[in-house]
Structure 1
Amino acid sequence: MQNAIAAARTRIKSNPPDILLASLPKSGTTWLKALAFATLNRATHSPSDAQHPLRHHNPHDCVGFLEMMAITAEGSGCRLMYVCRDPKDMLVSFWNFCLKEAATLAAVGCGGGWVGESAAAGLTKFEDVFELFCEGRYPGGPYWRNVLEFWHESQRRPNEVLFLRYEDMLGDTVGNLKKLAAFMGCAFSEEEEEAGVVEQIVELCSLASLKGMDVNKNGSTVLAFRNEAFFRKGQVGDWKNYMTLDMAARLDKIVEEATRGSGLTFAGSVSHNY
């Protein structure tokens, strides 16, 4: 994996037509890929079509991987869409993913080492990994640094960088899909909206729909991860099944201090809602 990343960095150049999707693991990447693919290709593949690619291929096989790459997109004219998630839910989701796919992650040389090293050190509980996360030890670096960099770029270059929140997308999927389509340069027409095309794409790409498809119950992606591993709960607030309120408040405080003055906030903060 590391050799492939190094080679890609020297050979891949972004161009104006390109649209890149970015996120830390388990922030809504699979869902965003499905929504973007279905929206961009709706003229070729109707969302109601029984042969739609998303009904027969995992979203990660429909939209290629450039994972863990530092791509220089500024000045290229390409567009970048970034999705973030409440760090508490993201950590819980990634923890569960790593437990299921630890062997594959280690084999391809990415996030599994985080879990593997933790286990080697005797850190086999969620609470132990939570400590690592609070220290900023996470694949890709500290969560708050990654999110903040993309947030700043979205403020500086709104026509080139679209910043999305997973929770907002769940709360208003139709509205956010329209925003997504407009950003990608393929806004929905009045006729499409009246015909219910937006809602059809939302339904096709919903967690329940994708999770229930045979292709996502069986088989593996091109990187050997089991398709089913990408679909768990997708809920807001699942962290409450893993963290105490004190743990949640501690992590919220770390993130809030790191992002203070930026204008970036997270709706799931325990100091705000719980």
Structure 2
Amino acid sequence: MQKAIAAARTRINSNPPDILLASLPKSGTTWLKALAFATLNRATHSPSDAQHPLRHHNPHDCVGFLEMMVTQDDDEALLRSPRPRPLLVQTHVPYSLLPDAITAEGSRCRLVYVCRDPKDMLVSFWNFYLKEAATLAAAGCGGGWVGESAAAGLTKFEDVFELFCEGRYPGGPYWRNALEFWHESQRRPNEVLFLRYEDMLGDPVGNLKKLAAFMGCAFSEEEEEAGVVEQIVELCSLASLKSMDVNKNGSTVLAFRNVAYFRKGQVGDWKNYMTLDMAARLDKIVEEATRGSGLTFAGLVSHN
């Protein structure tokens, strides 16, 4: 992962993406990829089309990873070759480590960040880890604890909870990663959009319209009247994606099994894994780290 980040910082200069989706793992990445891809490509692929790419490919194969783009043998040719516009990619890299061509003033790249209640995010990643531990370790995507878990026998959720509270997670400490993108969204609201997973679940249509407008492809009145927004929301819903044969079988280009990306997608599942004391402790860590920033998160537990 560190090698990929270093390569990205120095190589993605001549052909930066037009839209970069950013997140920490298990904070709504797969859903955001599906929504953004379907929205950008709706003129070519109607959401009702039986041959829509999302019906035959996992969202992670429809929208590539920035980190993967710079670790292939032919990465130089890939980055410099003409590609369809707008170019949409995704990353787990912290804002401070992104290539200058993406973050520099005047860059054409727009960034969309999605955050999630860290308690639910950790629970989701824990379940993903239980299914894909070997692949995560081989990819170096453990955030300082996946490989350690296998070596030290950290097989209990309580153990990884402690590591998470120390800031050890793929993409860096949760609070630092989210804060970096939050600050940029406040400083450059026309170039950085900050979304919350819980808000998207509560109002998927409204948030999809916001996403489309930000990406420069707002829905027309005719499209809204025809129900295109709702069709995309339905196509990209967890229930829809989870039911597709492609997501029940096979693996993504990252070698993770497609089925591992789809579990519950619910708000508050942390209650099945954490005590109230654990939840309050983690919330307090996040609150103290983000105090004064204006950044708030859903699902905070009172620890007074």
Shared fold (TM-score greater than 0.5)? yes
Distance in 1 (CA, whole Å) between partners of 2:259 and 2:122 is 19
Deviation at 1:18, TM superposition (A): 0.5
Deviation at 1:14, TM superposition (A): 7.3
Distance in 1 (CA, whole Å) between partners of 2:300 and 2:4 is 38
CA deviation digits over 1:210-265, x for unaligned, max 9? 00000000000011110011101100000000000000000001101111111111
CA contact (8 A) 1:101 1:112 kept: no
Deviation at 1:103, TM superposition (A): 0.8
CA contact (8 A) 2:120 2:267 kept: yes
Distance in 2 (CA, whole Å) between partners of 1:272 and 1:37 is 40
Name the SS of the counterpart of 1:22 in structure 2.
strand
TM-score, length-scaled by structure 2: 0.85
Distance in 1 (CA, whole Å) between partners of 2:231 and 2:192 is 26
Deviation at 1:4, TM superposition (A): 4.5
CA deviation digits over 1:135-158, x for unaligned, max 9? 112222211011011111000000
Distance in 2 (CA, whole Å) between partners of 1:261 and 1:194 is 42
State which of 140, 146, 149 in structure 1 corresponds to 2:171: 140
CA deviation digits over 1:72-116, x for unaligned, max 9? 454312100000000000000011111111111112222276222
CA contact (8 A) 1:45 1:52 kept: yes
Q: Which residue of 2 aligns with 1:52?
A: 52
Name the SS of the counterpart of 2:263 in structure 1.
coil
Name the SS of the counterpart of 1:91 in structure 2.
helix
CA deviation digits over 1:33-60, x for unaligned, max 9? 0000000000000000000000000000
Change (3 A) 1:240 1:156: same
Deviation at 1:190, TM superposition (A): 0.4
Deviation at 1:133, TM superposition (A): 0.6
Q: Which residue of 1 aligns with 2:8?
A: 8
State which of 226, 236, 243 in structure 2 corresponds to 1:212: 243
Distance in 2 (CA, whole Å) between partners of 1:272 and 1:178 is 36
CA contact (8 A) 1:105 1:113 kept: no
Distance in 2 (CA, whole Å) between partners of 1:184 and 1:214 is 30
Deviation at 1:121, TM superposition (A): 2.5
Distance in 2 (CA, whole Å) between partners of 1:17 and 1:186 is 16
Q: Which stretch has the larger CA shift, 154-163 or 97-106?
A: 97-106
Q: Which stretch has the larger CA shift, 236-245 or 109-118?
A: 109-118
Deviation at 1:8, TM superposition (A): 3.4
Q: Tell me how many residue pairs correspond in the alignment.
A: 273
Deviation at 1:266, TM superposition (A): 1.2
CA contact (8 A) 1:15 1:78 kept: no
Change (3 A) 1:46 1:229: same
Change (3 A) 1:229 1:71: farther
Change (3 A) 1:7 1:91: same
Deviation at 1:66, TM superposition (A): 1.3
CA deviation digits over 1:145-204, x for unaligned, max 9? 110111110000000000000000000000000000000000000000000000000000
Q: Which stretch has the larger CA shift, 7-16 or 104-113?
A: 7-16
Distance in 1 (CA, whole Å) between partners of 2:174 and 2:140 is 20
Distance in 2 (CA, whole Å) between partners of 1:272 and 1:77 is 43
Structure 2 unaligned segments of length 5 or more: list them.
Answer: 70-100
Name the SS of the counterpart of 1:8 in structure 2.
helix
Change (3 A) 1:113 1:151: closer
Name the SS of the counterpart of 1:99 in structure 2.
helix
CA contact (8 A) 2:31 2:236 kept: yes
TM-score, length-scaled by structure 1: 0.94
Name the SS of the counterpart of 2:3 in structure 1.
helix
Q: Which stretch has the larger CA shift, 7-16 or 118-127?
A: 7-16
